[in-house]
Amino acid sequence: MSTSPIRETIAAPAWPKPIPPLDAPPSPRSHRALRRLQSAHALGQQASNQPSLITRQHRQALQLNSTPVKKDPPTRARSNSDATNMTPPNPDSAGRRPMPVRRPTAEALSLDRLIRDGPPDGDLLGGLEATRLKILDQGVKSDSDGMSSLRIYVWLILLNAPVLETDSYLTLIHRGASPAYSKIRNDTFRTLATDPLFRRRVSEASLIRLLNAVAWKLHDAKEERAKGLANTGNKMRNTADEHGSPVLQNSTPAIEPGARALALNEGSQVPASEPGTYVQGMNVLAAPFLYAARSEAEAFVAFHRFITHECPGYVRGAMDGVHKGLALVDKVLAIVDPKLSLYLIGKGMSAELYAFPSVLTLCACTPPLPEVLRLWDFLFAYGAHLNILCIVAQLVILRNSILSSPSPTKILRSFPPLQAEIIKEVTLTLIKKIPDDVYAEIVMHAK
């Protein structure tokens, strides 16, 4: 920058109030206080001509020092509890137990101290609940660019991300190009290409390394699942046919097509579609993690945890979680605003046409980036599934513009700039209108 950092960052010292000169007269209030002290001292001397207790003790100590000391057996040293009480007893405090020192609760601590020191008395659930409430009420403090030294640690805690050694991340980097490397290179150069804040802080090389490491991680997990299925299929057991002859049969019976479909609908562990190592859109989904993190290793563990536990359905080859989310956008809009929903349907505009990027990237495709980070604070605190309601909230905010436009496609082709606080407020009002069964679908759509 052309301006000097010293002129902008170093402010004038906050000096105290001007000190009066030494020969300045004291204030009248000081005079009255001094006279009261002198009167009290004079009255005390008139009431008793005897020396004070401190003076008597001092004289006794001088007399003991002047007399010869006998060598007696050692005795217990005098404790503070043996000393004469110098203050008169307070009758109101008689019989009272000493009040225990109250330790601050998680609600009383600031978010910064709560993250740094941990919840008091190891109350993890209470500390987590207090963290969520503080994010909802106050948010994570950051500068105008959305930068905060605290945010990435809040995300790691809310995502319950495991501790990862940097060497583990470097090992994945040193393995070279993953099977998805060419797909990654086709997307990284256009990731948030028009956002100067992201371009200034995150390099394309950093984004390539992160996505390539995640692709290796997903590839290894896919290989382990394949080996596990192969080992299960190779297990044989001895049986006998109807004539009593021994035969070998697979211990895992074949699944009929109808039974397989039923198992998928009932939530069987058999995947509906094999998870891929990279799908288009993961680059935009990874961008905020790199922007908020203080190292690539932190961004890697947070991003990997997010896509494998919060929204694994978004990164499968068929993106079934994304399509379920788009259907829910239409369903929720019909519940909370039937007029707006019918108008969009009449124009032939379903969520598949305008909300696909917003669902896939959790609104990270809509600038500005600092507002995306504030919205993600809320989503990570209370569940990434609330992104569906946040998208509907943006439609409700644009309601008048959409209804008055003969061609709402131009409005919804690119959503207006995000306003995280307003979206959060509208989202909280929409939650109350959602039936329990529909809300359960929202919670599970990305799994």
Question: For 155-203, what is each residue's pLDDT tens digit?
Answer: 999 999 998 889 999 999 999 999 999 999 999 999 999 999 999 999 9
For residue 386, which amino acid is it? Answer: L
pLDDT interval class at 71 (50, 70, 90): very low
Contact 353, 269 (CB under 8 A): no
Average pLDDT over residues 78-105: 51
Among 222, 214, 203, which residue's Cα sits nearest to residue 169? 214
pLDDT higher than threshold 50 for residue 98: yes
- Our separate counts of H helices and E strands in the chain read 23, 2
Average pLDDT over residues 318-340: 97
The pTM for the full model equals 0.69
Give the chain's mean pLDDT. 78
Question: For residue 246, is the peptide bond before it cis, meaning its omega torsion is within 30 degrees of 0?
Answer: no
Reported CATH class of domain 319-444: mainly alpha
How far does Cα 152 stand from its chain's mean position?
A: 7
Max Cα–Cα distance, the chain, nearest Å: 125
Given this model, what pLDDT does residue 193 score? 92
Q: Which has more confidence, 10 or 228?
A: 228
Per DSSP bridges, beta strands 236-240 and 246-250 are: antiparallel
What is the DSSP-derived secondary structure letter of residue 318? T
Domain locations in the chain as residue ranges: 106-138, 142-224+273-310, 319-444
What CA–CA distance (Å, rounded) separates 216 from 214?
5
What CA–CA distance (Å, rounded) separates 101 from 86?
25
Question: For 346-400, what is each residue's pLDDT tens digit?
Answer: 999 999 999 999 999 999 999 999 999 999 999 999 999 999 999 999 999 999 9
Given this model, what pLDDT does residue 56 score? 58
Given this model, what pLDDT does residue 109 score? 86
